[in-house]
């Protein structure tokens, strides 16, 4: 399942990427072009715009009502029955939505803080923005989310 999020849902887009879901951040209002792009790429359109004119839209549209990103994510997860899996973390660049590529550990040494280098074996890089990621960057955030939602009974 792939998504496209409108300009008001940048944080939600990042979170979906953390969980491995390909999500385009559309830097514009949810208009006809937005829906066209969703349809062309078979993406679920996520928008905060409550009154969407989608009479000519055959794709999937979800209107996001909450102001809080954690709740927004929980709503998307519930709505589509998404399963959050550890092995899907650490696949996409949080910023660019690009699939991360493997890099040699020695290459990371020059780039990441030394305590990070010492404590991790696996590093990946975004081919587009060149940011370096290691499992902790995604996993800590993801686990935080999962924990807080188990406590609140959302998941």
Site of interaction with Zn ion (CB under 5 A): 93, 95-96, 126, 128-129
Task: Report, in Å, the least distance between residue 137 CB and Zn ion.
Answer: 12
Q: Between 20 and 64, whose beta carbon lies closer to Zn ion?
A: 20
Task: Report, in Å, the least distance between residue 133 CB and Zn ion.
Answer: 9
Q: Between 128 and 152, whose beta carbon lies closer to Zn ion?
A: 128
Contact 26, 49 (CB under 8 A): no
Task: Report, in Å, the least distance between residue 101 CB and Zn ion.
Answer: 11
Residues whose CB is less than 8 angstroms from the CB of residue 2 and which lie 6 or more positions away in sequence, other chains included = 21, 22, 23, 24, 41, 42, 43, 44
DSSP summary character for residue 87: G
Task: Report, in Å, the least distance between residue 100 CB and Zn ion.
Answer: 8
Residue 14 exposed, middle or buried by CB count within 10 Å (0-12, 13-18, 19+): buried
Q: Between 4 and 126, whose beta carbon lies closer to Zn ion?
A: 126
């Amino acid at each position: 399942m792939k998504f496209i999020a409108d300009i008001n849902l940048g944080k939600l887009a990042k979170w979906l990427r953390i969980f491995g879901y390909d999500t385009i951040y559309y830097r514009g209002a949810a208009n006809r072009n937005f829906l066209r792009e969703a349809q062309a790429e078979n993406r679920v359109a996520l928008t905060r715009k409550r009154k969407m004119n989608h009479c000519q839209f055959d794709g999937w549209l979800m209107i996001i009502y909450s102001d809080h990103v954690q709740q927004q994510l929980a709503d998307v997860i519930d709505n589509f029955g998404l399963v959050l899996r550890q092995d899907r973390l650490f696949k996409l660049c949080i910023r660019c939505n690009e699939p991360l590529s493997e890099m040699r550990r020695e290459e990371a040494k020059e780039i990441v803080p030394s305590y990070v280098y010492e404590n991790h074996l696996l590093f990946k890089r975004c081919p587009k923005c060149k940011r370096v990621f290691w499992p902790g960057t995604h996993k800590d955030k993801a686990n935080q989310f999962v924990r807080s939602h188990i406590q609140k009974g959302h998941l």
